[in-house]
Chain A
C-alpha cells in the first residue's frame, strides 16, 4: 500500500481539521471530495509531509514520514501540487520545472528529457520559454502540474488541479490523470464531481474532518439513487452522503 492512514488527526487551534481519518490507497487515482473546510487540503498537506499529524499513524510508500531518512526518500518519490501554487515570476516554464526536477535529485542525464516530457504532457510545449509572469491562471496551474509530475512520482498529490482550466483542458487533464494512475498512486482533491467520475477509480468523501464515504464512483452513484439533490448521478450521490453525515 502506498498510503496507509490510521486514526489520523490534525488540529489548528481548537479546530480539528482532520479528525480520525482512516484511509488506504494503492496504485490508481483516488478522488478526494468534500465541501469547503472538510479537511481535504489539511489531509493532502500531511500526505505531502509538509505538516505533521498530531496523532494517528501515517505510512507513505511503505515508510514512516515522521523519521528523517524515510521522509527524505518519500519526498524524492513524491509529486505535490499545493492549493496555492507559489512561483518565481522571472522563471520560464522550463526553468520552473527544471528547478523541481533537480531539487528532487533526478539523475542529471535524465532531467532535461524529463522536463521536456512534463511540459509537453501538460500542453505547455509552445510556452516553454515564456516567463511565468506572462501566463494565465490556467497555464500556471498546468506549469504547477508539470513540476509535480516531472520526477515520475510514485505518489502524486494534486490539490484542486483543475481550478482555472477551461473545459477542453480539463478533458485533457483527466486523460493525463488516468495515464498517471496506471503507475502511481494519485490523490486528487477537487470540488468537481465530474472530474472524479471521469478519472478516478476510487472516491473518498470528507465531511468535518472525517471520511464520510469511500468506494468506487459507481457506489457513490448508488447512494444517490432515489434521493439527493443534484443534476448528475454523482452529484446526487455526493449530496445524499453529505446529508446522511449531517443528520
Chain B
C-alpha cells in the first residue's frame, strides 16, 4: 500500500458521524440547494421591493405561494439518492441521515425566506410562511418517495396550482392550507401532517431508486 491515499481520519464516533453527515449532505447537492434557497430569498426580497404584497389579499398570497413552492421543491429534490442500490444495501445509519438532511434543508428554506422578508409584511406573517413551506416540503418528500428525487418538484407544483385556485375561489377546506388564515388550527394540522408524513416516509424508505439519476 502506498501513502498516496489519504481519507479524513475521524478519531471518534462523534466525528465519524459528523463526517458521514457532511458527506451525505454533499452527495445530495446541499451546497447547490442552499444557493438556490438564497436565490428564492433574493427573489422574495425583489418582489417585496418592487411591489410589496398589498394587504392580505389573494394576489399577494399567490405570488408568495409560488416562491414557497420553489423553496420546497429545492428541499424535496435534494432527497434523491445518487448511489442507487449500493446505498440501499447499507446499515442502520441511512434513515437518520435522510431525516437530518430533510430537516436541515427545511429549516434552511424557512430561514432563507424569513430573511428575505425581513422588515416587510408578509400575508400570513412568519407563522403562515412556516406552515405553508412545511406542508409543501412534506408533499415534495412524499413525491420523492413515490416518483424519485428528480421528479420531486411535481408534487409541490401540482399542489400549488390547486392552492392558487383555492385562494381565488376562497375554499374553506384546511387541506388547501395556504388559502386559510395563519391562525387556522385545521390548516396547521393538515400542513403538519403532510410534513410529518413526508419526513417519516423519506427517512424510512428514502426517495424512489432511479439509479444514475445523479
Q: Which of A's residues lie within 8 Å of B, judged by CB?
A: 45, 48-50, 72, 75-76, 78, 80-82, 84-91, 94-95, 97-105, 108-109, 111-112, 115-117, 119-120, 125-126, 128, 144, 147-148
Minimal beta-carbon separation of A206 from chain B (angstroms) = 19
Minimal beta-carbon separation of A33 from chain B (angstroms) = 21
Q: Which of B2, B87, B92, B94 contacts A86 (CB 8 A)?
A: B87
A102-B91 CB under 8 A given contacts A82-B211, A86-B82: no
- Closest partner residue, chain B, to A95 (CB atom): B23
Minimal beta-carbon separation of A86 from chain B (angstroms) = 3
Q: Which of A50, A101, A109, A128 contacts B85 (CB 8 A)?
A: A50
Residues of chain B within 8 A (CB-CB) of A88 are: 26-27, 82-83, 214
**B residues 53-108 with Cβ under 8 Å of A?**
81-94
On whether the beta carbons of B9 and A112 are closer than 8 Å, the reply is yes
CB of B7 within 8 A of chain A? yes
Q: How far is the CA of A57 from the CA of B88 in the complex (A)?
A: 21
Q: How far is the CA of A88 from the CA of B85 in the complex (A)?
A: 13
On whether the beta carbons of A98 and B8 are closer than 8 Å, the reply is yes
On whether the beta carbons of A125 and B2 are closer than 8 Å, the reply is yes
On whether the beta carbons of A86 and B11 are closer than 8 Å, the reply is no
Residues of chain A within 8 A (CB-CB) of B27 are: 88, 91, 99
Q: How far is the CA of A116 from the CA of B9 in the complex (A)?
A: 11
- Closest partner residue, chain A, to B9 (CB atom): A112
Q: How far is the CA of A102 from the CA of B89 in the complex (A)?
A: 13
Binary per-residue interface labels of chain B (158-182) against chain A in the complex, 1 for a CB within 8 Å, 0 otherwise: 0000000000000000000000000
Minimal beta-carbon separation of A82 from chain B (angstroms) = 4
A86-B5 CB under 8 A given contacts A50-B85, A102-B23: no
Q: Which one of B82, B85, B87 has the highest number of Cβ atoms from chain A below 10 Å of its Cβ?
A: B85
On whether the beta carbons of A108 and B212 are closer than 8 Å, the reply is no
On whether the beta carbons of A84 and B89 are closer than 8 Å, the reply is no
Q: How far is the CA of A82 from the CA of B12 in the complex (A)?
A: 31
* 3 nearest CB pairs, A to B: A86-B84, A108-B16, A116-B5
On whether the beta carbons of B82 and A128 are closer than 8 Å, the reply is no
Known: A72-B91, A95-B23; 9 extra A-B contacts, CB below 8 A, are A80-B86, A81-B86, A82-B85, A87-B83, A91-B26, A99-B24, A101-B7, A115-B5, A128-B6
Q: How far is the CA of A87 from the CA of B81 in the complex (A)?
A: 9
CB of B1 within 8 A of chain A? yes
On whether the beta carbons of A128 and B5 are closer than 8 Å, the reply is yes
A111-B5 CB under 8 A given contacts A50-B85, A86-B211, A104-B91: no
Minimal beta-carbon separation of B60 from chain A (angstroms) = 39
Number of A-B contacts (CB under 8 A): 127
On whether the beta carbons of A144 and B86 are closer than 8 Å, the reply is yes
Q: How far is the CA of A96 from the CA of B74 in the complex (A)?
A: 24
On whether the beta carbons of A82 and B84 are closer than 8 Å, the reply is yes
CB of B20 within 8 A of chain A? yes
Residues of chain B within 8 A (CB-CB) of A126 are: 4
A72-B8 CB under 8 A given contacts A86-B211, A90-B26, A99-B27: no
Q: Which of A72, A75, A94 contacts B5 (CB 8 A)?
A: A94
**B residues 19-34 with Cβ under 8 Å of A?**
19-20, 23-24, 26-27
Q: Which of B5, B8, B11, B212 contacts A120 (CB 8 A)?
A: B5
Residues of chain B within 8 A (CB-CB) of A75 are: 89-91
- Closest partner residue, chain B, to A108 (CB atom): B16
Residues of chain B within 8 A (CB-CB) of A111 are: 7, 10, 16
On whether the beta carbons of A108 and B13 are closer than 8 Å, the reply is yes
On whether the beta carbons of B84 and A108 are closer than 8 Å, the reply is no
29 A-B contacts, Cβ less than 8 Å apart?
Answer: A48-B89, A49-B89, A50-B88, A76-B91, A84-B211, A85-B86, A86-B81, A86-B83, A86-B211, A88-B27, A88-B83, A89-B214, A91-B27, A95-B23, A98-B19, A98-B23, A99-B27, A104-B91, A105-B93, A108-B10, A108-B11, A108-B13, A108-B16, A111-B7, A111-B10, A112-B7, A116-B1, A119-B5, A125-B1
